Amino acid sequence: MTMEHSPNGAKKTQVVLAVRDLSVHYPTPDGDVIAVNHVSFDIYKGELLGLIGESGCGKTTTALAILRLLQPPGEIAGGALVLNGTTDLAHLHATQLRQVRWRDVALIPQGAMNSLNPVMRVRDQISDSIRAHESRRISNSEMRERVSKLLRLVGLPERVEQLYPHELSGGMKQRVCIAMAIALNPSLVVADEPTSALDVIVQRVVAQNLLDIKNRLGVSILLIGHDMGLMAQLADRIAVMYAGNLVEIAPARAVLKEPLHPYTQLLIEAVPSIKERKPLQVTEGLTHDLRYPPPGCIFQARCPFVMDKCRRVRPPLQVVKPNHQVACHLYNAME
Amino acid sequence: MAAITADPTTPAAKARRHSARWNSPWLNAKLLLGLGILLLIASTEFIGPFFVAPKLAIIGSSPTNVVPVWVTNYDKRQGFKPPNPEYPLGTESKGRDMLAVILVGTPRTLRVGLIGAGIGILVGIALGFLAGFNGGWIDSSISTLADVMLTIPGLAVLVVIASYATELEIVNMGAIMALFAWPLPTRVVRAQVLSMRERGFIQMAQLSGTSNFDIMFREIMPNLLPYLAASFTESVALVILATIGVETLGLGPTRIPTLGMTINNALQSTAIYRGMYWWWGPPIVMLIFIFVGLFLMTVGLDEIANPRLRQVRRQ
Amino acid sequence: MTAPLLEIRNATKIYGGGLLERTPPVVALQDLNLTLPASPAQIVTIAGESGSGKSTLASLVLGFAELSSGQILFKGTDVTRMTAAQKKVYRRHVQAVFQDPYAVYNPYYRVRHVFDLVIRNFGLTHDQAEADAMIEQALSVVGLQSQEILDKYPHQLSGGQRQRMMIARAYLLKPNLIVADEPVSMVDASLRALILDIMQRLRDASGISFLYITHDLSTAYQISDEMIVLYQGRVAERGSTVKIIQEPNHPYVQQLIASIPVPDPDERWASEVVLPSDEALRAQIQSGCRYAPRCPFKMDRCTAAQPPLIRVGDNHQVACYLYDEQASIPRAVEATSSWQP
């Protein structure tokens, strides 16, 4: 496999999650929808990896696959999800998964703040999730302390613990969800669009809080989103997905300053600027049926640089610069 | 701007499309099975006369107390007569051929159910839409009325009404049953309309200058068809149940045999003690089929209406 | 001088708080003034976050809600005093595009239905061939082709296609004004420019004005000329979009712009923002500036009375006491002088 450098330059830091050749299919009467197509990437200890793409690109599906929370008929059609170098999440069965979930890998699902139990106080919900996944018995006093600590970590005043979800604002609810996710000190937190439904200023507060937690606890975060601007603020590395395929992955600075894949370039150009007024960059959005992906590169229909080879041969994800992988025929693999 | 797809003319693609047609949500196994059972039962109306002359269902048309054809051992002391292939299900103490009774009584029972539920669903649609769409005091009054009707013990009232009516025709029975059949569809329709009313396409229809009537019946109603159908079959079952209840107590039509009245006759003539299972048995078996059929249809329609209940079949 | 296309005078909308209600009244919108001239066509942004009152304004203009006080005049006629025929004309000339591109379609019908409804209800034509031609033309304006789109069901189209169809539907009526309520927030990032571009083209080529309601100041910056920023039902800052974005005066607007995530790793958020606890935020302030609890520059007078709109430049006003050194313009004048062609 490729040699990966950690964000701070040292070779081969600890890999928290190694996703190898992951494929997820959704069977339909008309054929399988290939939601995730042979995707591979690593998540390092203490880094925030941003997984970005638009609707239908498979990022949420990837997140659910990692937690083994795919709803049938969706299923993992192949690949491995190696956690901390030892456990393959893809091949665990139910009881083993219970050990892993929340303790090693946690999830903040999309719309989490709307999924809080409306008839339970915050402290009960948090303690519930702790008790469900902690193997030993926890006394009430210890639980109280843990809940207080968690609330402080996410920047919420202590009196929030006795409130009901409807008494909280959107940003506060989301932070409660974050608190629940880090409750058992997992190695990896998968956050699916944690700030999408929030107002701009609240988004900043929650995002900064996420970053703060990452730095303090050393937890790795897989941040899934569609906002390149937000990724720029938070991510150490960025992975770009299009229609089920991983097309580019590199440190955030490299992706934003020198995007290699034409789709990444498109995504960056599509962010309207708050700095200057310029004519709108209009691109056509061609769709292809996810059940019948075209042979060759998945992006061929929209790529301004499409070549003949692109229509025949699927470009592999390969290292073209130090630390920078791209799946595009425009670039040659680094020797 | 065309979608990029793999070649759709390959045999594999054609096979996929073919199987897709067979996966239409309307081809629900439960619905089809239930529908099949009911059609079979309903066919007794038309096909029955080919097998058995309907007049055999009239009192005195046949010898009394004939046992069914499969009985080998019977109690002569009770006055039972030997089995006769002319009367395959035997006859009862008044000389009615049981097969004829079943074939004549079943369509009648179905008819009561259809009339009662039919009226009930029409009233339910009208009132449910009015209540759900308009809200306010219209909604409050209709809902309260429906709730009150739901809490009144229908059977008790029906018994009172039926005992005052001298001779009940099937159609009249159906109409009376409708009195208690309308509240449930009204509530179902109202609930659905309330939830549909907030949908974006209703606002769009209003912006497009659509009248309230058109919004109710051309925008909302088509989306409710499966719910309405499920509500209808449910009502049919409830009406038939109520009818059987009333008839078993002896308050149904006496001249023409119906399933419920047959059970009543059987009870009055102590058929159970006498072991004349071929008297009270066939009506009950028929009723079981009817209810199973209706229940399957209701559940099947419910699944169609609510896609989340559907299971996706793998290729 | 022709009457302005739309004139909103002191529009106020209060929810709840009636005699029998237990919850206190919520002031969704307070004393909003806005004038849209008949020509030239403009894209006016109503910017704000949740609770700002921007969606309330959309409902009021579209006739889905009624004013608690104030007036809305369409081409000089008060909308509450319109006859049924006038109301129909109003509906025809004030159309909308909504946020959710899927919910606006009736899933029972093919997408063609949205056009048929409009043609039938407004009697645009009774001839099938003519109707088809009109639909074809409307679709071409938004870059879609009828044979590929019309016979499909809503779930078979992409979000971008559905939203464009909605614009085509509005365009079919050749309205004077389209209220676009978050038209691109649920559309993929790479397709937003396409839709915003259509809006600009409709303004320039067909003379259709837009009331662009959004929380995204970046898109507003790119396409609109005039802007009103709302905070909890009141105007915080209004005037030329470029001026407001480049030199925001109101502390809220400054905070808002500073919090927009810029896709540049060198431009990360400067400092940490701490929001005051919710109680302070939710306090029902009966008087005074709504932003005071959160404002780092809060003064005593801020909680005493709502600051008036103060002119800070040509076509640029702020509702903030920080700028009171300059001459403040009495209310009556502000309604007409805000929009300079």
Q: What is the pLDDT of residue B74?
A: 74
Q: Give C108's contacts in chain B (Cβ within 8 Å).
A: 222-223
Q: Which residue, A68, C162, C90, C14, is CA-closest to B206?
A: C90
Contact between B275 and B203 (Cβ < 8 Å)? no
Cβ neighbourhood burial of B108 (10 Å; 0-12, 13-18, 19+): buried
Token couple for A174 = 């989301």
Residues in chain C: 341
Q: Which residue, A184, A173, A63, is CA-closest to A129?
A: A184
Give one DSSP letter per residue of C138-153, joined into a string.
Answer: HHHHTT--HHHHTTS-
Is B68 part of any domain?
Answer: yes
Q: How far apart are CA A99 and CA A86, in angstroms?
A: 14
Helices (H), B152-220: 154-164, 170-181, 183-197, 200-207, 212-214
Give pLDDT tens digits for C107-120.
889 999 999 999 99
Residue C341 in this model has a pLDDT that exceeds 70: no
**What letter does residue C25 receive in the DSSP assignment?**
P
Q: What is the pLDDT of residue A132?
A: 86
- Mean pLDDT of the C184-194 span: 87
Most confident of the following: A255-269, B289-303, C324-338 = A255-269
Give pLDDT tens digits for C29-63.
999 999 999 889 999 999 999 889 999 999 999 99
Q: Which residue, B267, B238, B229, B291, is CA-closest to B112?
A: B238
Q: What is the pLDDT of residue B143?
A: 93
Residue C292 in this model has a pLDDT that exceeds 90: no
Q: What is the pLDDT of residue B15?
A: 54
CB contact under 8 A, A268 and C263: yes
Q: How far apart are CA A186 and CA A181, in angstroms?
A: 8
CB contact under 8 A, B23 and A31: no
Percent of chain C with pLDDT over 70: 88
Q: How far apart are CA C151 and CA C62, in angstroms?
A: 29
Domains and CATH numbers, chain A: 1-99+236-335 (3.40.50.300)
User: What stretch of H or E contains C63?
Assistant: none
How far is the alpha carbon of C107 from chain A, nearest alpha carbon, in Å? Answer: 20
Give me the half-sphere count of Cα atoms (radius 13 Å) on the Cβ side of residue C317.
26
Q: Give B312's contacts in chain A (Cβ within 8 Å).
A: 27-29, 72-73
The chain-wide mean pLDDT, for chain B, equals 81
Contact between C15 and C81 (Cβ < 8 Å)? no
Q: Looking at per-residue confidence, does B5 or B131 come out higher?
A: B131
- Confidence class for position C93, pLDDT limits 50, 70, 90: very high
Q: How many CB pairs under 8 A join A and B?
A: 43
Give pLDDT tens digits for B191-250.
989 988 888 899 999 999 899 899 998 999 888 888 888 889 888 998 898 888 888 888
The chain-wide mean pLDDT, for chain C, equals 86
The amino acid present at A147, given as its one-letter code, is V
How far is the alpha carbon of B29 from chain A, nearest alpha carbon, in Å? Answer: 16
Q: Give A113's contacts in chain C (Cβ within 8 Å).
A: none
Q: Looking at per-residue confidence, does B306 or B208 come out higher?
A: B208
The amino acid present at B278, given as its one-letter code, is W
Q: How far apart are CA A186 and CA A67, in angstroms?
A: 13
Residues contacting residue A96 through CB under 8 Å, at least 6 positions apart: A87
How far is the alpha carbon of A69 from chain B, nearest alpha carbon, in Å? Answer: 18
For the four alpha carbons of B259, B262, B267 and B272, in that order, the dihedral sign comes to: negative
Q: What is the pLDDT of residue B14?
A: 54
Q: Give A281's contacts in chain C (Cβ within 8 Å).
A: 193
The percent helix, strand, coil of chain C (3-state, each to 5) is 40, 20, 40
Give pLDDT tens digits for B39-93.
888 887 787 777 777 777 777 777 888 888 887 777 777 778 888 887 888 888 8
Q: Give B219's contacts in chain C (Cβ within 8 Å).
A: 106
Token couple for A107 = 């999830």
The amino acid present at A179, given as its one-letter code, is A
Q: What is the pLDDT of residue C294?
A: 83
Q: What is the pLDDT of residue C277?
A: 54
The angle at the Cα of C39, spanning C34 to C42, to the nearest 5 degrees, equals 60
Q: How far apart are CA A44 and CA B245, in angstroms?
A: 72
Q: What is the pLDDT of residue A191?
A: 94
Give pLDDT tens digits for B158-194.
788 877 876 667 777 788 888 888 998 899 899 989 9
Indicate which CATH number applies to the domain containing B120: 1.10.3720.10
CB contact under 8 A, C189 and A228: yes
Strand order across the C6-15 sheet = C26-36, C6-15, C69-74, C77-78
Reduce the DSSP state of residue B178 to 3 states and report it. Answer: helix
Q: List the single best residue of B1, B4, B312 to mutate versus A (max A Cβ within 10 A).
A: B4
Reduce the DSSP state of residue A48 to 3 states and report it. Answer: strand
- Mean pLDDT of the B145-150 span: 91
Residues in chain A: 335
How far is the alpha carbon of B208 from chain A, nearest alpha carbon, in Å? Answer: 28
Q: Give C62's contacts in chain B (Cβ within 8 Å).
A: 207
Q: What is the pLDDT of residue B112?
A: 85
Is B165 part of any domain?
Answer: yes
Measure CA B33 to chain center.
14
Alpha-carbon distance values, A207 to A271, B9, C216, C260 (Å): 19, 50, 17, 12
- Mean pLDDT of the B119-145 span: 91
Contact between C73 and C9 (Cβ < 8 Å)? yes
The residues with which A36 forms a beta bridge, in sequence order, are A24
Q: How many domains does chain B have?
A: 1
The minimal CB distance from C261 to the residues A54, A232, A278 is found for A232
How far is the alpha carbon of C108 from chain B, nearest alpha carbon, in Å? Answer: 6
- Confidence class for position B101, pLDDT limits 50, 70, 90: confident
Residue B111 in this model has a pLDDT that exceeds 70: yes
User: What stretch of H or E contains C192?
Assistant: helix C189-206
CB contact under 8 A, A256 and C265: yes
Give pLDDT tens digits for C61-90.
999 989 999 999 999 899 888 888 888 899
**Residue of chain A with shortest Cα separation from B4:** A288
User: What stretch of H or E contains A221?
Assistant: strand A220-225
Ranges B147-156, B271-280, C17-26, C242-251: which has the least confidence: C17-26
Q: What is the pLDDT of residue B17?
A: 53
- Confidence class for position C21, pLDDT limits 50, 70, 90: low
Token couple for B193 = 């309309």
Helices B170-181, B98-134: inter-axial angle, 10-degree rounding: 40
Is B111 part of any domain?
Answer: yes
Q: Which domain holds residue B134?
A: 29-309
Q: How far apart are CA C12 and CA C1, in angstroms?
A: 28
Is B2 part of any domain?
Answer: no
Q: What is the pTM of this model?
A: 0.83
How far is the alpha carbon of B14 from chain A, nearest alpha carbon, in Å? Answer: 10
Q: Which residue, B236, B284, B300, is CA-closest to B35?
A: B300
Residues contacting residue A181 through CB under 8 Å, at least 6 positions apart: A102, A106, A107, A108, A189, A191
Give one DSSP letter per residue of B72-136, joined into a string.
Answer: ----GGGTPBPP-TTSTT-B-TTS-BHHHHHHHHHHHHHHHHHHHHHHHHHHHHHHHHHHHHH-H
Of chain A residues 270-299, which have a CB less than 8 A from chain B? 284, 286-289, 292-295
Encode B171-183: b = buried (16+ Cβ within 10 Å), e = exposed.
Answer: ebbbebbbbbbbb
Q: List the single best residue of C106, C111, C149, C182 to mutate versus B (max B Cβ within 10 A).
A: C106
CB contact under 8 A, A31 and B5: no
CB contact under 8 A, B315 and A29: yes
The minimal CB distance from C278 to the residues A172, A205, A284 is found for A172
Q: What is the pLDDT of residue A228?
A: 92
Percent of chain B with pLDDT over 90: 17
Is B7 part of any domain?
Answer: no
Residue A91: count other Cβ atoms within 10 Å of its Cβ.
11
How far is the alpha carbon of C276 from chain A, nearest alpha carbon, in Å? Answer: 10
The minimal CB distance from B4 to the residues A32, A284, A286 is found for A286
Residues contacting residue B155 through CB under 8 Å, at least 6 positions apart: B242, B245, B246
- Confidence class for position B1, pLDDT limits 50, 70, 90: very low
Most confident of the following: B257-261, C198-202, C327-331 = C198-202
How far is the alpha carbon of C253 from chain B, nearest alpha carbon, in Å? Answer: 31
Strand bridging mode A245-251 / A237-242: antiparallel
**Residue of chain C with shortest Cα separation from A267:** C190
**Residue of chain B with shortest Cα separation from C118:** B208
**Residue of chain A with shortest Cα separation from C195:** A282
**What letter does residue B219 receive in the DSSP assignment?**
I
Encode A196-230: b = buried (16+ Cβ within 10 Å), e = exposed.
Answer: bbbbbbbbbbbbbbbbebbeeeebbbbbbbbbbbb
Q: Which residue, A158, B75, A199, is CA-closest to C49?
A: A199
Low-confidence ranges of chain A (pLDDT < 70): 1-12, 285-289, 335
Residue B208 at interface with chain C, using a CB cutoff of 8 Å:
yes
Q: Which chains touch B (3 or more CB pairs under 8 A)?
A: A, C
Three-state secondary structure of B240-289: HHHHHHHHHCCCCCCCCCCHHHHHHHHHHCCCCCCCCHHHHHHHHHHHHH
ipTM comes to: 0.84
Q: How far apart are CA A148 and CA A123, in angstroms?
A: 9
CB contact under 8 A, C106 and B223: yes
Q: Which residue, C45, C50, C52, C44, is CA-closest to C13?
A: C52
Contact between A291 and A32 (Cβ < 8 Å)? yes
CB contact under 8 A, B207 and C107: no
